Structure 1
């Protein structure tokens, strides 16, 4: 039933009827205007799954704890960016910290998996967020 309500909302969202319709259709209005940070959610998933894989393969509880903690922070940051594209600070701090931590581990071990992969991915996220911060806001 829920997908049907979304379909009705998407069909009616640009018409003048949706402005005067009852509250059932207006509850999805803010959701339809929101852009989702898919890259941020993918990054959070990669971090959390890396912690789980480290726990399953090596029995590393610190890997699991760090993966869940940093994955949760990255997911929260992606949620904040999805609601307000200017609110990048949690994502930037999380990816900056991970790029530093995992970059140091990669420098010491010279093994690409997992430290090099996480350092490179975190650096890409820092670059993406830095570019988003430098862009001028668009007027609507």
Structure 2
């Protein structure tokens, strides 16, 4: 059983971003979204570590990463500031690519 360290690292990054947004700007929305998406990413990384062949789990992780990539990408395009929107767009996009590549490598049962 291989641990999905990249997935867990991504979950920590997302959660830390939400906490930082709350501490710096007092944004309760950033805190709630960061913790929610971080929790979803952590659960996805844990379940992927338990059963890497679960395609439905991969689709759920892709949805979470894709949603963050789109939302933070739009924020980045509006502000052109790399921190935090650009970093989260880049991290979410890379995570999405990792998930898609992992889905393509998995043997499928018919």
TM exceeds 0.5? yes
More helix per residue: 1 or 2?
A: 2
Runs of 5+ unmatched residues, structure 1 = 1-33
Q: Under a length normalisation based on structure 2, what TM-score does the superposition of the two structures give?
A: 0.90
Runs of 5+ unmatched residues, structure 2 = none
The residue aligned with 2:94 is 124
1:50-129 equivalences in 2 (<5 Å)? 50-87=17-54, 88-129=58-99
CA–CA distance in structure 2, aligned partners of residues 135 and 36 of structure 1 = 17
Highest Rg: 1 or 2?
A: 1
Q: How many residues align?
A: 104
Deviations 1:82-138 (A, max 9, x none): 11112212211110110011111111111111011000000000111111111153x
1:128-139 equivalences in 2 (<5 Å)? 128-137=98-107
Indicate the RMSD between aligned Cα atoms, in angstroms: 1.0
Q: Under a length normalisation based on structure 1, what TM-score does the superposition of the two structures give?
A: 0.71
Following TM superposition, the consecutive aligned residue runs of length 4 or more in structure 1 with deviations greater than 4 angstroms are none
